[in-house]
Structure 1
Amino acid sequence: MSRRPVRRLILVAAGVLLVAVVVAAFLLATRPEPRTAVVERGSLEATVETVGRLVPRNPITVRSTVSGRVQLVAVSPGDVVEEGDVIAQLDPEPFEEAIRRAEDQVAAAEAALNLAEQRAGDNPSPEQLSARLTAEQQLREAQRALDDARAALDASMILAPRAGTVLQVQTAEGAPLGTGAEVAQIADLNDLELQVDLDEIDLPHVPLDAPVTFTLDAYPSEDIEGRLERISPTAETSGGTTTFRATVRFTLPEGLVARPGMNADVSIKTAVRPDVLLIPESALRTVGRRTFVTVLVDGEEQEREIRIGLRSGGMVEVASGLTEGERVVIP
């Protein structure tokens, strides 16, 4: 074989190699830089988001302590009442009739006692003494019955036990009313609390006295601060969801007017990690129970195992494995 074909073959191979090198260099030079995030120091808060509504803190249910028929309803929802104001009045005639009968019984018992005392004289026989003692007992019972009848008449006038605003009226004129029946509900509208329902999944992470921030639909730009005051020990289930009723104590900012039934968007702060290392949660890669990130070091990508802590709002706390200022690759 002549040297010329061999030389041409070598030149062709060298040219192909040169083209490959140039193409590779071009591809490396034009490859986009990986998207990265800097490991930064900051604070991380975990929150539970829910909704709630305002309710009176200590509403009072006014009940009737006697039975009868309602003659008068003196209030309507929204009325402001003072302690002792009339809420409703039962028909007094049956109570007045009971008093008249009781007075007759007292008069008869007094007459019987006077007769027994006259017969007994100063030296009564055992039978006369027993008759006098019996008459005295009957008079006491008749007097108690009269006292009870008078108290029942007083109770037929149903009064407000304290000052407040009438929220509900639960009877009507002409309606029968039993002992213990609800007549009205009264509350102090200046003493409200926020009720929220906590999902059973969130409950283990929500401590008592947790800071709470909420906005009312009526004041969407006003952040109102409060504290989680109590959590019901019993669950409520609706539509396959189990929740626990919780109560938030708060103070309204000056100038805001709130009413029972107002709706709120609620954020409960469950944990705070101040001054910790943070990276985006999207940088994590999990293998079993182990967590890895890709770190960019001098332009080279390195796999590194890390230990993480709190997660919230797309960020994650780095407990170990990274230092402030390093860059992690975001896939």
Structure 2
Amino acid sequence: MLKKKRSYIWWILAIIVIGGGSAYLLMKKNKAGKDLQAKVRTATVKRRDISTKVLATGIIKPKVGAEVKVGSSVSGIVKKLYVNIGDEVKKGQLLAEIDPAEYQAQYNQADASLQNAKASLKSGHANLKSIEANLNFLKVSMQRMEKLLEKNYASQSEYDQTEASYLQVLAQVEQQKALIKQQEAFVAQQKANRDFVATKLGYTKITAPISGVVASVATQEGETVAASFAAPTFVTILDLDRLEIWTYIDETDIGRIEQGQKATFTVDTYSETIFDGEVTRIYPQAEIKDNVVNYLALVEIIDKQDKILRPEMTSTVNIHLEKKEQVLVVPNRAVVKIEGEKMVQQQLDETLEFRKVTTGVRDKYYTEIISGLQEGDRIVTNPKKP
């Protein structure tokens, strides 16, 4: 009986010892886990959209042909000015008039000279017809005289006289034809002169070559303008639908910029609005200022979001190089290089293990993981190299 009682006590003591040891190990394990969590910061491998882009500064400029300086091709007094700064104009709309009195008088004189030349030409053709009719009559007379001479009904002197008259009139025909050619040339000259004066008269009406907004007016009614080698500018017109961004790309990024790449940009006046654009041209010549090398890329404005953009506005441009949707990513700081290999430290229960990874696109905050990790894995964002 005593022996059984002792055996029972030993069993109880063994259970207590084993239970206590297990509790101690569990507490130690939990403490180790808490200590590990306290020492490292972790994140979960997840999916999200990621893109790479180049950030640059740009200035909005009119495209070639979108800013036109309109001037006068003739000298004179500004008779009427029809537009003011800020007015919207359509192509062909009348902007201003130069007093046409002098040019109208020149046109009237040139037109009168042309009409006189045409009348002379008409008279010349009438004279030619009359002379040709006389020539035909003499030709018939000479043929008849030739037959009479063969039958001795006419003398040789009579025939010779008729032939001489025929040859004389034939020469007159050739002379009249030559005169008509001169008259035709004179008519053409007078017509060219009248057309030239008509063009100058037309220049007194100054019209808009493009549709747009009047950006500046540099004259006033009653002012005398002198058109010499360069036409004096009256009005500057801007087509606000034909703008682009002169974007200055750093030399470290220019190798990644290509035509056709999409871009987004903002301007200070509409800071909450994101506009769309596209790279259309890259200039090969560098622009160096303060020892900083930049290259000019033109970004076409695709969508203005119903906003009014103006030349010389400063813009912040993002040129999108590559975009991937819903790919595995980790924070950039989680990726480290160990012995030339890209590694990420993964948390496995209470242990940490470096895993080799293959990376892809990288933006400002995240790096794409192509292989080496799975969605939902816990990784360390402040890894320490071994």
TM-score in same-fold range (> 0.5): yes
Provide, for residues 91-117 of structure 1, a one-character-per-residue CA deviation record: whole Å limited to 9, x for no partner.
535534542552454355346546645
Match of 1:131 in 2: 179
Q: TM-score, normalised by structure 1?
A: 0.73
Alpha-carbon separation, structure 1, partners of 2:234 and 2:53: 42
- RMSD of aligned Cα (Å): 3.6
Equivalent-residue separation in structure 2 for 1:79 and 1:329 (angstroms): 59
Corresponding residue for 1:38? Answer: 44
Q: Indicate conservation of the 8 Å contact 2:96/2:207, yes or no.
A: yes
Amino acid at match of 1:237: E
- Return the offset for 1:36: 2.7
Structure with the higher fraction of residues in strand conformation: 1
Change (3 A) 1:66 1:113: same
Report the number of matched residues: 302
Distance 1:272 1:81, change over 3 A: closer
- How far apart are the structure 1 equivalents of 2:257 and 2:101? 57
| Offset at residue 309 of structure 1 (A) | 0.8
Q: Is the 8 A contact 2:344 2:379 kept in 1?
A: no
Shift of 1:79: 2.0
Q: 1:295 aligns with which of 346, 353, 357?
A: 346
Once the two structures are superposed, what CA deviation does each residue of 1:213-248 show, in whole Å capped at 9, x if it has no partner?
Answer: 443322323x33424162355556251322212212
Q: Deviations along 1:113-140, whole A, 9 cap, x unmatched?
A: 4664576442343122201221122112
- For structure 1, the residue ranges without an aligned partner over 5 or more in a row are 1-24
Q: Displaced runs of 4+ in structure 1, greater than 6 A?
A: 27-31
Find the aligned partners of 1:183 and 1:234 in 2 and give their Cα distance.
Answer: 36
Residue 59 of structure 1 aligns to which amino acid in structure 2? Answer: A
SS of 2:39's equivalent in the other structure is: coil
> Is the alpha carbon distance of 1:250 and 1:194 closer, same or farther for their aligned partners in structure 2, counting shifts above 3 Å?
farther
Question: Contact 1:214/1:225 (CA < 8 Å) preserved in 2?
Answer: yes
The alpha-carbon deviation at position 329 of structure 1 amounts to 4.7
Task: Give the equivalent residue in structure 2 for 1:220.
Answer: 271
TM-score, normalised by the number of residues in structure 2: 0.64
| Counterpart-to-counterpart distance in 2, 1:294 and 1:330 | 9
- What's the offset of the Cα at 1:249? 0.6
Does structure 1 retain, via aligned residues, the 8 Å contact 2:247–2:317? Answer: no
Aligned to 2:84: 76
Write the distance in 1 (CA, Å) between the matches of 2:99 and 2:80: 11
Per the TM alignment, residue 251 of structure 1 is displaced from its structure 2 partner at its CA by 4.2
User: 1:149 Cα deviation (Å)?
Assistant: 0.8
Match of 1:230 among 253, 276, 280: 280
1:122 to 110, 131, 140: 131
Distance in 2, matches of 1:329 and 1:144, equals 85
Structure of greater Rg: 2
For residues 48 and 215 of structure 2, the distance between their equivalents in structure 1, rounded to whole angstroms, comes to 48
CA contact (8 A) 1:277 1:319 kept: yes
User: Hey, what does 2:161 align to over in structure 1?
Assistant: none
1:316 deviates by 0.6
Match of 1:92 in 2: 100
Question: Does the Cα contact within 8 Å between 2:58 and 2:316 map onto a contact in 1?
Answer: yes
1:45-56 equivalence runs, <5 A? 45-54=51-60
Contact kept in structure 1, 2:93 and 2:207, CA below 8 Å: yes
- What per-residue deviation string (whole Å, max 9, x for no partner) do you get for residues 29-76 of structure 1? 968422333322222122333344555677252545734346357233
Q: Label 1:218 to 1:144 Cα distance change in 2 as closer, same or farther (>3 A).
A: same
Task: Mark the CA change 1:160 to 1:211 in structure 2 (over 3 Å): closer, same or farther.
Answer: same
Of 44, 66, 73, 1:66 maps to 73
Q: 1:309 aligns with which of 354, 357, 360?
A: 360
Q: Answer yes or no: is the 8 Å Cα contact 1:39–1:328 preserved in 2.
A: no
Q: Residue 286 of structure 1: CA displacement?
A: 2.5
Partner of 2:296: 243
Deviation by residue 1:143-186 (Cα, 9 ceiling, x = unmatched): 22112211220122111245432123456743433577454333
Retained in 2: the 8 A contact 1:63–1:180?
A: no
Q: Which moved more, 1:121-130 or 1:313-322?
A: 121-130
TM-aligned CA distance change 1:167 to 1:128, over 3 Å: same
Q: Is the 8 A contact 1:197 1:244 kept in 2?
A: yes
Deviation sequence 1:232-273 (CA, Å, 0-9, x none) = 5555625132221221210425xx555454444333433222
Cα separation, partners in 2 of 1:278 and 1:118, compared to 1, 3 Å: closer
The SS at the match of 1:148 is helix
Specify whether residues 245 and 154 from structure 1 end up closer, same or farther in structure 2 by C-alpha distance, changes over 3 A only: same
Contact 1:54 1:192 in 2 (8 A): no
> Is 121-130 or 211-220 further displaced after alignment?
211-220
Unaligned stretches of 5+ residues in structure 2: 1-27, 133-171
SS of residue in 1 equivalent to 2:374: coil
The answer to whether residue 382 in structure 2 is matched with residue 330 in structure 1 is yes
